[in-house]
Amino acid sequence: MKLITDRYLQELMEAYVGEPQGLPPIDFEGQSAFIKEYFKAGAPELRILFAVCALALRALALLLKGRPFSRLSPDQREDLLNRVMASRNPALRGVAFLPGLPLLMSYYRRPEAAVPLGFDARALKEESDLRVVTRDRNLPPKSGA
């Protein structure tokens, strides 16, 4: 069962990620595969909540901007998201924040996007391999137990 279309998912990616300067463009195929895997691994409620929030953003675009989300310019989409995120109502803020979690994670987990920002997972793994921690089985018994 597909809750939102690929086209709308791509529109959401473009709205949340945008075009960061000095970083690679959005990879729709790779990111959508990650998002599908992310939802398969998590609770089923998360996938439903994501879809509900995405549909609520469509409704808010009609209410606040008078146009469908797909017909908004990138600046108008950014303004809509900022307006909803700045709301004092926590439920309304959640409508904008919750879809951003998998969308932004799918983009910034990619090495070509993470390394220029200073997070190199491969280098961190190599560094952690230098500090191998083992359990010493010859520990003295605890006193005062």
Could you state, in order of their start, the residue ranges of all structural domains in the chain? 6-120
Q: What is the pLDDT of residues 59-88, one digit of tens each?
A: 999 999 999 999 999 999 999 999 999 999
Going by C-alpha positions, the residue among 115, 121, 81, 104 that lies closest to residue 72 is 81
Inter-residue contact 32 to 6 (CB < 8 Å):
yes
Cα–Cα distance measured from residue 35 to residue 96, given in angstroms and rounded to the nearest whole number: 17
CA 84/CA 97 separation, integer angstroms: 9
Best CA proximity match to 16, nearest among 45, 53, 43: 53
**Rounded Cα gap, residues 53 and 63, in angstroms:** 15
Residues 3/45, Cβ–Cβ less than 8 Å = no
pLDDT of residue 50: 94
pLDDT tens digit sequence for 80-138? 999 999 999 999 999 999 999 999 999 999 989 888 888 888 888 888 888 877 776 67
